[in-house]
């Protein structure tokens, strides 16, 4: 374990570092990079800021965790801090973390370790980002920490009668959960909780009056529905504590948890997954034709079979690592479902499909 974990270290700081979105290549995003100036490279750590915030609010905490032996990538989510892009509350904005990681490894190799998997930390809205990232990119993280996180946006909307959070939810997700139920589900960590395969540490104050403790309890209940052999969920409720979880002691414990869980995780050869907008792994990716849709996929990498189902989706894209020879729809072929195109992009086989809301099975050869 890094000797810097508990010691003050001189930090290298790079503020407002630009990087490009792979989902929208004309969109320039920003992050801060903090890491001990000497002795690196260090394991990458995503830092997600809170609701109504931007990366400037998370800088001090990023510095504290960087000093404990991490390369902290303090992310600025789309459209925050007077930057471009439209906030989408756990849609593509969490996928942007992957682009930030690739940029940091490429441009700061002395600080950001190429071989070690990233970890993630977030509080409040940032905790909600952590819940979503662990389920939408299940083999990306080796471990994650969520403090007082938003796990269920429908529940949070209904609770927030004061409306001080509803305004952003209505703009970023949809008018309300009754008219846009699927959009709210697609953003919620509870929807993809069963997908999680990395260890997760959850901390929530019992007296939280911004993100009620019911959010953490809902996530814990959803996580218990994961398949047998699911990774550990370290769950703790803090008595006499509100929304502001104190950094003292708790931040050191978070760093310890993240350091102790540094091994890469791996997706199984066969499994059923929830796809909330998109699902990204090192071996396959799936996305619907809109980030607000929720469906399922069953994949068997050994037999080279995949089944997709999303009643609200008219089209889907499947990406498989490496080249494929032949791709076809498994019989019986649903009416109007077809493979539109198969192409190679940066080492991935990209398969575009028309689905029209029908279950469709694919098989391929290599």
Assess whether pLDDT exceeds 60 at residue 263. Answer: yes
**Does residue 199 share a domain with residue 56?**
yes
Domain assignment of residue 191, yes or no: yes
19 contacts 99 by C-beta, under 8 angstroms? yes
**Does residue 283 share a domain with residue 220?**
no
Give the structural domain span for 344. Answer: 270-365
Burial category of 341 from C-beta neighbours within 10 Å (exposed 0-12, middle 13-18, buried 19 and up): exposed
Assess whether pLDDT exceeds 90 at residue 335. Answer: no
**Does residue 91 share a domain with residue 234?**
yes
Query: How many separate domains does the chain show?
Result: 2
Q: Which residue has the tokens 């990538």?
A: 73
**301 pLDDT band (50/70/90 cuts)?**
very high
**3 pLDDT band (50/70/90 cuts)?**
very low
CATH code assigned at 205: 3.40.50.1820
**Does residue 237 share a domain with residue 101?**
yes
Q: What is the mean pLDDT of residues 218-235?
A: 89
**336 pLDDT band (50/70/90 cuts)?**
confident
Domain assignment of residue 8, yes or no: yes
Boundary (domain end) residue, out of 237, 260, 283: 260
Q: What is the pLDDT of residue 6?
A: 44
- Copy the structure tokens of residue 291: 């980030």
Q: Which residue has the tokens 């909330």?
A: 276
In angstroms, rounded to a whole number, what is the distance separating the alpha carbons of residues 337 and 322? Answer: 24
In this structure, are strands 44-48 and 119-123 parallel, antiparallel, or unpaired?
parallel
Helices (H), ranges, the chain: 59-66, 92-107, 125-136, 153-159, 166-172, 181-187, 213-223, 250-260
Estimate the crossing angle of helix 92-107 against helix 125-136, to 10 degrees: 80
Distance in Å from the first CA to the final CA of the chain? 41
Domain assignment of residue 356, yes or no: yes
Domain assignment of residue 75, yes or no: yes
CATH code assigned at 331: 2.60.220
Boundary (domain end) residue, out of 227, 260, 293: 260
Domain assignment of residue 251, yes or no: yes
pLDDT in tens, 65-92: 999 999 999 999 999 988 889 999 999 9
Q: Which of 89, 61, 69 is nearest to 77 (CA)?
A: 89
Estimate the crossing angle of helix 59-66 against helix 250-260, to 10 degrees: 50
pLDDT in tens, 112-145: 999 999 999 999 999 999 999 999 999 999 999 9
**Does residue 356 share a domain with residue 276?**
yes
Q: What is the pLDDT of residue 334?
A: 84
**Does residue 344 share a domain with residue 204?**
no
Assess whether pLDDT exceeds 90 at residue 225. Answer: no
User: How many CA atoms does the CB half-sphere of 32 hold within 13 Å?
Assistant: 23
Burial category of 253 from C-beta neighbours within 10 Å (exposed 0-12, middle 13-18, buried 19 and up): middle
Domain assignment of residue 241, yes or no: yes
**Does residue 155 share a domain with residue 225?**
yes
**8 pLDDT band (50/70/90 cuts)?**
low
Boundary (domain end) residue, out of 260, 287, 304: 260
Domain assignment of residue 265, yes or no: no
**Does residue 18 share a domain with residue 37?**
yes
pLDDT in tens, 89-113: 999 999 999 999 999 999 999 999 9
Domain assignment of residue 321, yes or no: yes
**Does residue 276 share a domain with residue 225?**
no
**Does residue 248 share a domain with residue 103?**
yes
**Does residue 286 share a domain with residue 255?**
no
Q: What is the pLDDT of residue 186?
A: 98
**Does residue 141 share a domain with residue 45?**
yes
């Amino acid at each position: 374990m890094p000797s810097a974990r508990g010691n003050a270290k001189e930090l290298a700081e790079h503020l407002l570092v630009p990087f490009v979105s792979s989902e929208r290549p004309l969109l320039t995003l920003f992050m801060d990079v903090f890491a001990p100036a000497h002795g690196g490279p260090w394991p990458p750590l995503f830092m997600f800021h809170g609701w109504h915030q931007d990366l400037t609010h998370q800088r001090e905490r990023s510095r504290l965790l960087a000093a404990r032996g991490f390369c902290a990538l303090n992310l600025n989510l789309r459209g925050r801090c007077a930057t471009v892009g439209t906030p989408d509350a756990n849609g593509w904005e969490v996928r942007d973390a992957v682009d930030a990681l690739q940029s940091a490894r490429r441009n700061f190799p002395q600080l950001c370790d190429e071989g070690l998997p990233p970890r993630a930390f977030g509080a409040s809205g940032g905790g909600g980002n952590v819940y979503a990232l662990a389920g939408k990119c299940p083999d990306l993280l080796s471990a994650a920490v969520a403090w007082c996180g938003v796990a269920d946006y429908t529940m949070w909307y209904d609770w927030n009668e004061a409306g001080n959070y509803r305004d952003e939810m209505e703009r970023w997700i949809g008018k309300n959960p009754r008219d846009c139920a699927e959009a709210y589900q697609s953003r919620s960590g509870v929807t993809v909780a069963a997908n999680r395969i990395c260890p997760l540490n959850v901390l929530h104050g019992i007296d939280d009056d911004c993100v009620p403790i019911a959010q953490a309890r809902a996530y814990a209940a959803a996580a218990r529905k994961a398949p047998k052999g699911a990774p550990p969920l370290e769950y703790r409720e803090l008595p006499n504590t509100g929304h502001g979880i104190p950094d003292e002691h708790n931040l050191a414990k978070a760093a310890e948890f993240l350091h102790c869980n540094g091994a890469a995780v791996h997706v199984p050869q066969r499994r059923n997954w929830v796809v909330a907008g998109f699902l990204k792994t090192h071996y396959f990716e799936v996305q619907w034709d809109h980030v607000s849709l929720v469906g399922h996929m069953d994949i068997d990498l050994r037999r080279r079979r995949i089944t997709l189902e999303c009643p609200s989706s008219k089209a889907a894209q499947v990406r498989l690592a490496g080249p494929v020879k032949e791709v076809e729809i498994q019989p019986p072929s649903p009416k109007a479902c077809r493979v539109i195109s198969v192409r190679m992009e940066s080492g991935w086989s990209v398969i575009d499909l028309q689905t029209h809301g029908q279950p469709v099975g694919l098989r391929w050869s290599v």
